[in-house]
Amino acid sequence: MRLLKALYEHSKATSDPAFVEHLASGTGLTELEAHHAWSYLKDKRLIQTFSIPHTARINAHGIDAIEEAEQHPDQPARSFPAVTYNIVNNTTNIGTAVNSPVQQTAGSSQPDQSKSASTKKTFIERLTSRTTTLTALLVTVTALLAAVPPIRKAANDAYCSVISCPTASPKPSIPSPSASAAPPVSDAPAARRFTFDSFDTLDGSRAKSGTISQISVSIVDNRGRKPDTYVAEWTWSGSGGTQNGSQTVVVDLKSASGATLESLTFPLDRSHCYYPGNPQRFAGDLKNAASLVASIQVSVTAVEGRQGRC
């Protein structure tokens, strides 16, 4: 009970664990008696113990036991049924059931600040010492593991100096691709398709003769194997109500600067009114390289000759 009381007072000053031998002198216990008391309180679950032997901190059960004894000094405490706890004139009287008191002054049960600081310092020093030891052990193991490959190589060299060891054939080197090598160029023809918006065609009197739509021109780059080619397509409808006569579709191939590279001309089929429309398709060779073509311009000449009504 005296050791528990000392731990109780110690907890008021700090939450750090205490070494019971440091509290022994203040409780009238020898160091051996303090160790026995520590074991007893541990078994009673009145203190919290730690990995370092004989260190402890009072827990909730221990606090309840002390405060219960203080509130009922003439009754045996439940945790210590054979002990009574009397406080008279700032003096603690602890007696057994046969009333053999042992006096302990309240002032002597609380360690001073210097003892608390010393206890804390000793506890930290022990932890630091163990940490240093573990660190040194880890460094040693790491160095040993790092030395394993050289040791293995030295043993192998010694063995091969006595017994001829087969020499491993070098692996054939795989040539790395040259950084300056350009990717292979495909010889397959490359086609580009240009489209043009629908518009109305005009007759000789500048009236609507019909509508040309679905206009597209495909330019094919044949990679020098043969002349580059084109395919021109459209659909014409005599929606203006006329037929016959002649009209010409003109496709201008434009460069990136807008200059006309060449003009392709095709006859517009006006042999019928062609409701709702008549598709036409023309193909041929280009005079210029297909790679120069950047856009197209499409127009239709006015009707020439005799035209009739649909």
**Angstrom distance (rounded) from CA 125 to CA 115:** 15
- The predicted model gives 199-206 an average pLDDT of 88
pTM of the predicted protein model: 0.42
**Model pLDDT, residue 244:** 86
- Which residues are CB-contacts of 212 (< 8 A; sequence separation ≥ 6)? 198, 199, 200, 201, 234, 235, 236, 249, 268, 298, 300
User: Which of 66, 99, 116 marks a domain boundary?
Assistant: 116
* Residue 245 counted as domain residue: yes
- Percent of the chain scored above 70 by pLDDT? 69
Residue 211: CB atoms within 10 A of its CB come to 17
Do both 194 and 305 map to the same domain? Answer: yes
**Angstrom distance (rounded) from CA 51 to CA 127:** 11
Q: What is the CATH number of the domain that holds 236?
A: 2.60.40
User: Which of 116, 136, 153 marks a domain boundary?
Assistant: 116
**Model pLDDT, residue 176:** 62
Q: How many separate domains does the chain show?
A: 2
Read off the pLDDT of residues 33-74 as tens digits, 9 standing for 90 and up.
889 888 999 998 999 988 888 899 999 998 988 888 888 777
* Residue 249 counted as domain residue: yes
**Model pLDDT, residue 235:** 96
**Angstrom distance (rounded) from CA 221 to CA 172:** 43
User: Which of 52, 85, 116 marks a domain boundary?
Assistant: 116
* Residue 52 counted as domain residue: yes
Domain range holding 68? 2-116
Q: Is the omega angle on the peptide bond into residue 175 within 30 degrees of 0, that is, cis?
A: no
* Residue 229 counted as domain residue: yes
Read off the pLDDT of residues 102-159 as tens digits, 9 standing for 90 and up.
344 444 444 555 666 666 667 777 767 777 777 777 767 666 656 666 666 766 676 5
- The predicted model gives 175-202 an average pLDDT of 79
